[in-house]
Amino acid sequence: MAERAQKREEISNEEIARILDEIGDMLDIIGESTFRVRAYHKAASSIRGLTKSVLEVYKEGGVKALETIPGVGSHTAQRIEQLITTGRLPYYDELKQKVPAPLTELMNIPGLGPKKAKKIYDALGIMTIEGLTKALEEHQLEKIPGFGHKTEENILRGIRQFQKMHERILLSDAYPVAREIVELLRQQPFVERANTAGSLRRMKETIGDIDLLSSSNEPSRVMDFFISIPQVAYVLAKGETKSSIVAKNGLQIDLRVVSPEQYGAALQYFTGSKPHNIHLRDIARKRGLKINEYGVFDVATDKRLVGRTEEEVYGILGMDTPRPAIREDKGEIEAAMERRLPRLIELEDIKGDFHVHTKWSDGINDIEDVVQMAINLGYKFIVISDHAEKLYVAGGLTPEEMEEQLQLIAMLNQKYDGIEILSGMETNIDNEGNVDFGPEVLGKLDVVLASIHGGFRQSKDQLTRRMIKAIENPYINIIGHPTGRILGQRPPYEIDLRAVFKAAAGTGTFLELNAYPNRLDLKDDHLREAKEEYGCKFAIDTDAHVVGHMVYMEYGVATAQRGWLTTEDVLNTYEVLEIKKMLRQKR
Instruction: Give contact residues for ligand DGT (rule: CB under 6 A).
Output: 198-199, 204, 207-209, 211, 269-270, 272-274, 277-278
Q: How far is the CB of 205 from ligand DGT (least distance, A)?
A: 10
Nearer to Ca ion among residue 274 and residue 303 (C-beta): 274
H helix or E strand, kind and range, residue 182? helix 171-186
- Applying CB under 5 A, which part among 126-134, 272-280, 541-549, 554-562 lies near Zn ion? 541-549
Please enumerate in sequence order all residues whose Cβ is within 8 A of that of 448, keeping only pairs 6 or more positions apart, or say none: 424, 425, 427, 435, 442, 475, 476, 477, 478
Mark 278-303 as b/e (b = at least 16 C-beta within 10 Å): ebbbebbeeeebbbbbbbbbeeeeee
Q: How far is the CB of 483 from Ca ion (least distance, A)?
A: 25
Q: What DSSP state is assigned to residue 103? A: H
Which of ligand DGT, Ca ion, Zn ion, none interacts with 389 (beta carbon under 5 to 8 A by kind)? none
Q: How far is the CB of 345 from ligand DGT (least distance, A)?
A: 22
Note the maximum CA span of the chain: 79
Nearer to ligand DGT among residue 270 and residue 555 (C-beta): 270
Binding site for Ca ion (CB under 5 A): 198-199, 208-209, 211
Describe the strand order of the beta sheet including 304-306 as a list of residue ranges: 289-292, 295-298, 304-306
Backbone φ and ψ for 332, nearest 5 degrees, come out as -70, -30
Nearer to ligand DGT among residue 198 and residue 563 (C-beta): 198
Which of Ca ion, ligand DGT, Zn ion, none interacts with 543 (beta carbon under 5 to 8 A by kind)? Zn ion
> Rounded to an integer, what distance in angstroms lies between the CA atom of residue 482 and that of residue 487?
14
> Rounded to an integer, what distance in angstroms lies between the CA atom of residue 295 and that of residue 553?
36
Instruction: Rule CB under 5 A: say whether 426 interacts with Zn ion.
Output: yes
Nearer to Zn ion among residue 22 and residue 543 (C-beta): 543
Residue whose Cβ sits closest to ligand DGT: 272
Which of Zn ion, Ca ion, ligand DGT, none interacts with 172 (beta carbon under 5 to 8 A by kind)? none
User: Residue 198 is which amino acid?
Assistant: G
Whole-angstrom CA distances from 321 to 260, 285, 292, 340 are 19, 18, 16, 11
Given a contact cutoff of 8 angstroms between Cβ atoms, the answer to whether 76 and 46 are in contact is no
Q: How far is the CB of 258 from ligand DGT (least distance, A)?
A: 13
Residue whose Cβ sits closest to Ca ion: 198
Which of Zn ion, ligand DGT, Ca ion, none interacts with 272 (beta carbon under 5 to 8 A by kind)? ligand DGT
Which of ligand DGT, Ca ion, Zn ion, none interacts with 274 (beta carbon under 5 to 8 A by kind)? ligand DGT
Q: How far is the CB of 225 from ligand DGT (least distance, A)?
A: 23
| Cβ atoms < 10 Å from Cβ of 340 | 9
Pairing status of strand 381-387 against strand 352-356 = parallel
Give the number of residues in contact with Zn ion, rule: CB under 5 A. Answer: 2
- Applying CB under 5 A, which part among 291-299, 397-405, 543-551, 568-576 lies near Zn ion? 543-551
- Applying CB under 5 A, which part among 81-89, 201-209, 252-260, 535-543 lies near Zn ion? 535-543
Q: How far is the CB of 14 from ligand DGT (least distance, A)?
A: 21
Nearer to ligand DGT among residue 77 and residue 267 (C-beta): 267
> Rounded to an integer, what distance in angstroms lies between the CA atom of residue 280 and that of residue 388?
51
Q: How far is the CB of 551 from ligand DGT (least distance, A)?
A: 23
Mark 183-218 as b/e (b = at least 16 C-beta within 10 Å): ebbeebebbbbbbbbbbbbbbbbbbeebbbbbbbee
Nearer to ligand DGT among residue 277 and residue 561 (C-beta): 277
Given a contact cutoff of 8 angstroms between Cβ atoms, the answer to whether 136 and 157 are in contact is no
Given a contact cutoff of 8 angstroms between Cβ atoms, the answer to whether 307 and 261 are in contact is yes
Nearer to ligand DGT among residue 204 and residue 469 (C-beta): 204
Q: How far is the CB of 269 from Ca ion (least distance, A)?
A: 11
- Applying CB under 5 A, which part among 424-432, 468-476, 509-517, 571-579 lies near Zn ion? 424-432
Nearer to ligand DGT among residue 159 and residue 207 (C-beta): 207
Instruction: Rule CB under 5 A: say whether 543 interacts with Zn ion.
Output: yes
Pairing status of strand 289-292 against strand 295-298 = antiparallel
Nearer to Ca ion among residue 110 and residue 198 (C-beta): 198
| Cβ atoms < 10 Å from Cβ of 151 | 17
Residue whose Cβ sits closest to Zn ion: 543
Nearer to ligand DGT among residue 297 and residue 510 (C-beta): 297
Given a contact cutoff of 8 angstroms between Cβ atoms, the answer to whether 4 and 234 are in contact is yes
Q: Can you state the angle between helices 497-507 and 460-472, rounded to 10 degrees?
A: 10
User: What are the residues binding Zn ion (CB under 5 A)?
Assistant: 426, 543
